[in-house]
C-alpha cells in the first residue's frame, strides 16, 4: 500500500484552549487535585482514564498542567512564548 518512493512529513503544534494562569504546577498536580480544581469537562475527561493509562504516554513530568484541559502539554515552538498545545504528526506517501 505504501510505495516508499516519496513522502512528506508534517509536525505541528495546535494551540489548546487553556490558560497558563489557571494551571497547576507539576509538583502540586495529581489526578485527584485536577478532579477537584477542574471544570466539569476536565472531570469527565479524567473519569475516562484509568490509572495505567494516565500519564503513561510520557515518562517526562510536565512543568504545568492545565486544569481546564489536562491532556494539553506545556510546549514552546522556536522563537515563541510557551503555551499549552497538542502535537500532531502526519506522514503522507
Q: Which residue bears the cell 508534517?
A: 10
Q: Model's pTM, two decimal places?
A: 0.59
Sign of the four-CA dihedral 27, 29, 31, 36: positive
Residues in the chain: 93
Distance CA 8, CA 91 (A): 6
Closest CA to 24 of 81, 63, 56, 75: 63
Question: What is the DSSP pairing of strand 73-75 with strand 83-92?
Answer: antiparallel
Q: What is the pLDDT of residues 8-55, one digit of tens each?
A: 888 888 888 888 887 878 788 776 776 676 667 667 766 766 555 555
Residue 90 reports pLDDT greater than 70: yes
Amino acid at each position: 500500500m505504501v510505495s516508499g518512493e516519496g513522502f512528506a512529513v508534517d509536525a505541528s503544534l495546535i494551540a489548546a484552549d487553556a490558560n497558563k494562569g489557571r494551571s497547576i504546577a507539576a509538583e502540586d498536580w495529581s489526578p485527584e487535585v485536577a478532579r477537584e480544581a477542574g471544570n466539569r469537562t476536565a472531570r469527565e475527561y479524567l473519569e475516562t482514564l484509568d490509572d495505567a493509562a494516565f500519564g503513561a504516554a510520557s515518562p517526562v513530568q510536565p512543568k504545568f498542567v492545565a486544569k481546564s484541559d489536562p491532556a494539553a502539554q506545556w510546549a514552546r515552538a522556536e522563537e515563541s512564548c510557551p503555551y499549552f498545545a497538542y502535537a500532531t504528526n502526519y506522514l503522507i506517501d
